[in-house]
Amino acid sequence: MLAVIYSDEFLEHKTGRFHPEKPERISAIASALQHTSFAHQLEWRSPVTDPQRAIAWLEKVHSPHHIQSVRELATQGGGYLDLDTPVSPRSYDVALLAVNAWLDGIDYTLATNNPAFVLSRPPGHHAESDRGMGFCLFSNAAIAAHYALEQPNINHVAILDWDVHHGNGTQAIVEHHPQIAFCSLHQSPCYPGTGAAAETGAHNNVLNLPLPPGSTIADYQPVFETQVIPFLTQFQPDLLIVSAGYDANAADPLAEMYLQPQDYGLFTEFCLKITHRIVFGLEGGYDLPALSQSVVATIERCLF
């Protein structure tokens, strides 16, 4: 079995008619999963609705000013944190629910030793401690990593970010934490312009792997084999969190990579060589068919 943590509430983060990070992203994925041959092996779970729990963990990685800014913007009817990052009246509450979903994913995986997929939005890997940006309000993966380290017998947590964009927010939050490793594969040059290979963290706990536009699975595979797996394996994580963005697909409108949906099944296979304690959490991916097929490929590889 594999848990899919999802709520229709995630559709209530409204971004505007033409914004690429739209509610249809997760409804398309949910529909695709429900029509697979392995649908009976999925355990659909609703996230815990406990805003105070989410806020308590938000406060460990985000400044009070940032949390208050998002809350006030939503309360006032919405607005923008930056040119790309809208906040609607329900966005703050939905973002808290997303945090809880990621924490629930941690709980499930540690209790069962089975993977979980957190099908939530808004995404989080661009959100820094004191600001949201790049469609992201709160740093879900970094929050989840801090939460995991407070659980029994968890001493090291690794985060793998395979989104086409560098997870600048995640890195900024965790790079000084010796018990968290961060590895990112991303297109370069590309938004947000961070993630140079020279950025290695305060404890050599960061591995950035910038790849040129036009890269295919033939470029990604050796990077996984010779750099990602050795780096993460050497760290000996008790849990792996994957910032699962699917915008490196050839069909995606926001980048210039040439992966195919089935390639994410291979990525997942590499992750399973490191540990079966994996929490996947949705980040980017904006072509609905390619996005849905990629998530299906990810989950299918976990089950078979």
Q: Which residues are catalytic?
A: 126
User: Which residues 6+ apart lie within 8 Å of 156 measured at CB?
Assistant: 179, 180, 181, 235, 236, 237, 238
* Buried b or exposed e, range 132-151, using 16+ CB within 10 angstroms: bbbbbbbbbbbbbbbbbbee
Nearest residue to 215 (alpha-carbon basis) of 256, 244, 162 = 256
Q: CA-to-CA distance for 258 and 251, rounded, in angstroms?
A: 8
Q: Per the structure block, which two tokens stand in for 143?
A: 């929050």
CA 250 to chain centre: 20
Nearest residue to 186 (alpha-carbon basis) of 205, 203, 211 = 211
Q: Per the structure block, which two tokens stand in for 88?
A: 């609607």
Q: Per the structure block, which two tokens stand in for 224?
A: 């996984």
Q: Is the dihedral of CA 219, 225, 227, 228 positive or negative?
A: positive
Q: What is the DSSP secondary-structure string of 284-301? A: ----HHHHHHHHHHHHHH
Q: CA-to-CA distance for 247 and 152, rounded, in angstroms?
A: 35
Q: In terms of residues, how long is the chain?
A: 304
The single residue listed with the structure tokens 């938000």 is: 58
